Amino acid sequence: MLVLSRKLGEKITIGKGVTVAVVKVHGNRVQLGIEAPPDVRIYRDEIRDRLEATTSKPCSPSECCG
C-alpha cells in the first residue's frame, strides 16, 4: 500500500485518467473528489462488498474499484 500525505486542493493521479483530489478537510473527515473515465466504476468498499455478496462471482478491481 502506498501512503501519501496531501493538503487541501492537492491531487494524485492513478493510471491513465483517474485523478483523486482532496476537496475538504473537517476534523477527522476528508472529502475526496474523483475524476475518472465513464467506463471506470468507482464504489465505496461497503457498496462493493454488498454488490459482490449479491453476485455469483466477485468483481475484479478494474470492474469495481477503478
What does the pLDDT look like over 1-11, one tens digit per residue?
A: 999 999 999 99
On whether both 31 and 42 belong to a single domain, the answer is no
On whether both 24 and 5 belong to a single domain, the answer is yes
For the chain, counts of helices (H) and of strands (E): 2, 3
On whether both 30 and 46 belong to a single domain, the answer is no
On whether both 50 and 66 belong to a single domain, the answer is yes
Position 60 pLDDT exceeds 70: no
- What are φ and ψ of residue 11, in 5° steps? -130, 160
What is the residue range of 12's domain? Answer: 1-35
> What Cα–Cα distance (Å) separates residue 65 from each residue in 8, 9, 29, 30, 43?
23, 23, 21, 19, 6
pTM over 0.85: no
Position 57 pLDDT exceeds 80: no
Q: Which of 4-8, 18-22, 49-53 is predicted least confidently?
A: 49-53
On whether both 42 and 64 belong to a single domain, the answer is yes
Percent of the chain with pLDDT over 70: 83
User: Which pLDDT band holds residue 54 (cuts at 50, 70, 90)?
Assistant: confident
